[in-house]
Amino acid sequence: MLLLVGLGNPGTGYARHRHNIGFMAVDEIAHVHGFSPWKSKFQGKLAEGKFGTEKTLLLKPDTYMNLSGQSVAEAVRFHKMELAQVIVFHDDLDLAPGKVRTKLGGGHGGHNGLRSIDGILGADYHRVRLGIGHPGRKDLVHSYVLNDFAPMKRTG
Protein backbone atom coordinates (compact mmCIF):
# COMPACT_ATOMS: atom_id res chain seq x y z
CA MET A 1 0.00 0.00 0.00
CA LEU A 2 1.09 3.56 -0.72
CA LEU A 3 -0.03 6.82 0.83
CA LEU A 4 0.41 9.84 -1.45
CA VAL A 5 -0.03 13.10 0.45
CA GLY A 6 -0.52 16.47 -1.18
CA LEU A 7 0.30 19.43 1.03
CA GLY A 8 -1.74 22.60 0.89
CA ASN A 9 -4.36 24.64 2.69
CA PRO A 10 -8.06 23.72 2.51
CA GLY A 11 -10.73 26.00 1.07
CA THR A 12 -11.48 27.65 -2.24
CA GLY A 13 -9.61 30.82 -1.26
CA TYR A 14 -6.33 28.88 -1.29
CA ALA A 15 -7.07 26.53 -4.19
CA ARG A 16 -4.76 28.10 -6.85
CA HIS A 17 -2.01 29.30 -4.48
CA ARG A 18 1.57 28.19 -5.11
CA HIS A 19 1.59 26.65 -1.61
CA ASN A 20 -1.22 24.31 -2.75
CA ILE A 21 0.68 22.65 -5.58
CA GLY A 22 0.74 19.44 -3.52
CA PHE A 23 -3.08 19.40 -3.49
CA MET A 24 -3.06 20.10 -7.24
CA ALA A 25 -0.71 17.16 -7.85
CA VAL A 26 -2.83 14.59 -5.99
CA ASP A 27 -6.01 16.00 -7.57
CA GLU A 28 -4.47 15.35 -10.97
CA ILE A 29 -3.37 11.83 -9.98
CA ALA A 30 -6.92 11.11 -8.78
CA HIS A 31 -8.40 12.40 -12.02
CA VAL A 32 -6.00 10.71 -14.45
CA HIS A 33 -5.99 7.35 -12.68
CA GLY A 34 -9.70 7.13 -11.88
CA PHE A 35 -9.50 7.16 -8.08
CA SER A 36 -12.64 7.12 -5.94
CA PRO A 37 -14.39 10.37 -5.07
CA TRP A 38 -12.84 12.30 -2.18
CA LYS A 39 -14.31 11.57 1.26
CA SER A 40 -13.60 13.06 4.67
CA LYS A 41 -11.26 10.92 6.74
CA PHE A 42 -8.10 11.33 8.86
CA GLN A 43 -8.69 15.09 9.28
CA GLY A 44 -8.50 15.44 5.51
CA LYS A 45 -9.86 14.35 2.16
CA LEU A 46 -9.08 10.78 1.09
CA ALA A 47 -9.39 9.03 -2.27
CA GLU A 48 -8.60 5.39 -3.01
CA GLY A 49 -7.35 3.63 -6.11
CA LYS A 50 -4.59 1.47 -7.51
CA PHE A 51 -1.34 1.85 -9.37
CA GLY A 52 -1.14 -1.49 -11.13
CA THR A 53 -1.94 -3.93 -8.34
CA GLU A 54 -0.74 -1.61 -5.55
CA LYS A 55 -3.56 -0.19 -3.40
CA THR A 56 -2.94 3.54 -3.13
CA LEU A 57 -4.47 6.21 -0.93
CA LEU A 58 -4.40 9.92 -1.72
CA LEU A 59 -4.65 12.36 1.18
CA LYS A 60 -5.14 16.12 1.32
CA PRO A 61 -4.96 17.25 4.97
CA ASP A 62 -7.69 19.67 6.06
CA THR A 63 -5.56 20.77 9.02
CA TYR A 64 -3.86 23.63 7.18
CA MET A 65 -0.24 23.39 6.18
CA ASN A 66 1.34 23.95 9.60
CA LEU A 67 -0.52 20.98 11.14
CA SER A 68 -0.34 18.55 8.21
CA GLY A 69 1.46 15.96 10.31
CA GLN A 70 -1.67 15.33 12.40
CA SER A 71 -3.64 14.15 9.37
CA VAL A 72 -0.78 12.15 7.86
CA ALA A 73 -0.04 10.46 11.21
CA GLU A 74 -3.69 9.37 11.58
CA ALA A 75 -3.65 7.70 8.16
CA VAL A 76 -0.24 6.06 8.71
CA ARG A 77 -1.18 4.69 12.12
CA PHE A 78 -4.63 3.48 11.06
CA HIS A 79 -3.17 1.53 8.14
CA LYS A 80 -0.08 0.43 10.10
CA MET A 81 2.19 1.78 7.38
CA GLU A 82 5.94 2.21 7.33
CA LEU A 83 7.22 5.71 6.50
CA ALA A 84 8.82 4.30 3.33
CA GLN A 85 5.24 3.81 2.02
CA VAL A 86 4.51 7.54 2.31
CA ILE A 87 5.15 9.98 -0.56
CA VAL A 88 4.58 13.69 0.14
CA PHE A 89 4.08 16.20 -2.70
CA HIS A 90 4.98 19.77 -1.73
CA ASP A 91 5.99 23.16 -3.05
CA ASP A 92 9.69 24.04 -3.17
CA LEU A 93 10.94 27.62 -3.41
CA ASP A 94 14.46 26.49 -4.32
CA LEU A 95 13.37 24.86 -7.57
CA ALA A 96 12.37 26.76 -10.69
CA PRO A 97 8.71 26.52 -11.67
CA GLY A 98 8.04 23.24 -13.44
CA LYS A 99 11.09 21.46 -12.03
CA VAL A 100 10.52 18.28 -10.00
CA ARG A 101 12.93 16.47 -7.71
CA THR A 102 12.46 13.44 -5.50
CA LYS A 103 14.29 12.30 -2.41
CA LEU A 104 13.96 10.03 0.58
CA GLY A 105 14.21 11.70 3.97
CA GLY A 106 16.14 14.86 4.67
CA GLY A 107 15.38 18.11 6.38
CA HIS A 108 12.26 20.22 6.10
CA GLY A 109 14.10 23.21 4.62
CA GLY A 110 11.84 25.62 6.48
CA HIS A 111 8.67 24.14 4.97
CA ASN A 112 6.07 24.11 7.74
CA GLY A 113 4.08 21.19 6.34
CA LEU A 114 7.18 18.99 6.25
CA ARG A 115 8.22 20.28 9.67
CA SER A 116 4.85 19.15 11.06
CA ILE A 117 5.15 15.67 9.53
CA ASP A 118 8.78 15.32 10.65
CA GLY A 119 7.87 16.36 14.20
CA ILE A 120 5.23 13.65 14.55
CA LEU A 121 6.44 10.78 12.36
CA GLY A 122 10.09 11.44 11.61
CA ALA A 123 11.70 12.32 8.30
CA ASP A 124 12.16 8.95 6.58
CA TYR A 125 9.42 9.34 3.96
CA HIS A 126 9.63 10.09 0.25
CA ARG A 127 9.25 13.67 -0.95
CA VAL A 128 8.32 14.99 -4.36
CA ARG A 129 9.57 18.55 -4.51
CA LEU A 130 7.54 20.64 -6.97
CA GLY A 131 9.28 23.83 -8.04
CA ILE A 132 7.44 27.12 -7.63
CA GLY A 133 10.46 29.44 -7.88
CA HIS A 134 11.52 32.12 -5.42
CA PRO A 135 10.33 35.74 -5.37
CA GLY A 136 13.92 36.94 -4.96
CA ARG A 137 13.79 38.30 -1.41
CA LYS A 138 13.09 36.47 1.84
CA ASP A 139 10.61 39.12 3.02
CA LEU A 140 8.43 38.43 -0.05
CA VAL A 141 8.19 34.65 0.45
CA HIS A 142 5.05 34.56 2.62
CA SER A 143 2.90 36.60 0.25
CA TYR A 144 4.43 34.84 -2.77
CA VAL A 145 3.50 31.30 -1.69
CA LEU A 146 0.03 32.44 -0.58
CA ASN A 147 -0.82 33.88 -3.98
CA ASP A 148 -1.97 32.27 -7.19
CA PHE A 149 0.36 31.15 -9.94
CA ALA A 150 0.77 33.72 -12.70
CA PRO A 151 -1.60 33.10 -15.64
CA MET A 152 -0.11 30.92 -18.37
CA LYS A 153 0.61 32.55 -21.73
CA ARG A 154 -0.51 30.51 -24.71
CA THR A 155 1.88 30.14 -27.60
CA GLY A 156 1.15 29.09 -31.15
Q: Please list the active-site residues.
A: 19
How do beta strands 2-6 and 39-41 pair?
Answer: unpaired
What are phi and psi for residue 34, nearest 5 degrees?
Answer: 65, 40
DSSP annotation of 37 reads P
How do beta strands 54-61 and 126-131 pair?
Answer: unpaired
How far does Cα 93 stand from its chain's mean position?
Answer: 14
What are phi and psi for residue 47, nearest 5 degrees?
Answer: -130, 150
CA atoms of 124 and 104, how far apart (whole Å): 6
